[in-house]
Amino acid sequence: MACYFKPLMEKLQNYIDGKLIAPKSNEYFDNYDPASGKVYSLIPDSSIEDVALATAAAKRAFPIWSKMSIQERSDIMLKIASLIEERSEELAAAESRDNGKPLKLASTVDIPRAQANFHFYGTGILHWASESHSMGDLALNYTLREPIGVAGCISPWNLPLYLFSWKIAPALATGNTVVAKPSEVTPYTAYLLSKICIDAGLPDGVLNIVHGTGPKAGAAIIEHDDIPMISFTGGTTTGEWIARAAAPKFKKLSLELGGKNPNIIFADCDFEEMMKTTLRSSFANQGQICLCGSRILVERSIYDRFRTEFVSRVKDLKVGHPSEQVNLGAVVSKPHMEKILSYIEIAKTEGGTVLCGGERVKVAGHEEGYYLAPTVIEGLDQSCRTNQEEIFGPVVTIAPFDSEEEALEMANSTKYGLASSVWTSDLKRAHRVAKDIHAGICWVNCWLLRDLRTPFGGVKSSGVGREGGFEAFDFFTEPKNVCIRY
């Protein structure tokens, strides 16, 4: 725990052309510890000049990196993975402090996944194959998949190193160079990754990390003419702006955006297993995961039993400082805490009943921290704002349904379509419902059970494109058909 409480007040630096450097303006802004509400480090306020410097470095490095053998690239990526594993304790402590999530969660989920991302794509590139198509005695067609150039990778604050590395790793594995921006709310583990890349011997300019705000540094990456592809995870409104800005430049886009995910619970479910998982899928990472099941739909015959048991267990969840043995830590920032609280008030005006939670929690010794009680609301129509808009916090709604058809109608009633969960012992029903839910992912009798080989992404307003598996390799490369006549 000493690492967590170590006073830092350090000025973070950009990682450009293999070096840690200050922003051109030499200006910084505050980085807050959500658990205490206090500033503990300073973030570079980078601008278009810093992005231009990073992009120029990435362009210079591209011919070298892209022509390096697959085995050489793989070896460097596996070295990065190894160093993440070696420094996992330091990285987990930094992630917990920067984000407010429980240290146990950062230690068991976030940092192991970041290590796995580099390892998976570092080894996956060795086994990736292209297609060939024979035209009998006439000709042979084969597909070359070639790196494109400089990739712009912009990641969110909820799973900082987890999602940052998920974008960077496949881009690098396929021979591209990268200009990346972590969220300005949670920049610290990206800064530590810079140091790891230096120690791993990553060639200068292959990965460049520019810190700063979305309107300045982020927009400069999106609009730069020498960055032909953008991978972005974040809010749907920002995604809409990126799509508009990138379209006239014909950039490749991968946009993983918001979610308002249904958790459909049928009466024939394994009740205890469902209950344990639903607690987790509702409030993991303080509900700040795009995959959390924020709309819980329960078959009417077990609705009363579910409500009583669920609310009782939610009230038993412990909210506290992330370094302690708690279920929920702090939400990521004061503005985000205020946004969540405002939605709880909206739910009340819409006729919802708060069954538990709904208020800020004062943690002894950390009274200025951004803590919220896990909140359960019932009595709301699916068309109301609370059920239609992404809150992204420890807030769920519960509602009954009477038939499979009604459950699907309720589940599909939002503009989002990222993830869903279905709880049933009926195999035929599981297949039917999974097929008819408008979402990119459907978990049956589980939640957040991820295989890195599978495609990840949403439909409707939840995004464009797919991440994960070889789909990521496809995104970061351009296919070329070669036809050879015999």
Question: What residues act catalytically?
Answer: 256, 290
Whether 292 and 424 have beta carbons less than 8 Å apart is answered as no
CA–CA gap between residue 71 and residue 122 (Å, rounded): 9
Q: Would you list the DSSP string of 132-198?
A: EEE-TTSEEEEEEEEE-SEEEEE--SSSHHHHHHHHHHHHHHTT-EEEEE--TTS-HHHHHHHHHHH
DSSP 126: T
Closest CA to 252 of 481, 474, 457, 482: 474
Q: Residue 53: enclosing H or E segment and its boundaries?
A: helix 48-67
Cα 86 versus chain centre, distance: 23
Question: SS3 breakdown of the chain: % helix, strand, coil, rounded to 5?
Answer: 40, 25, 35
CA–CA gap between residue 268 and residue 102 (Å, rounded): 34
Q: Residue 296: enclosing H or E segment and its boundaries?
A: strand 295-299
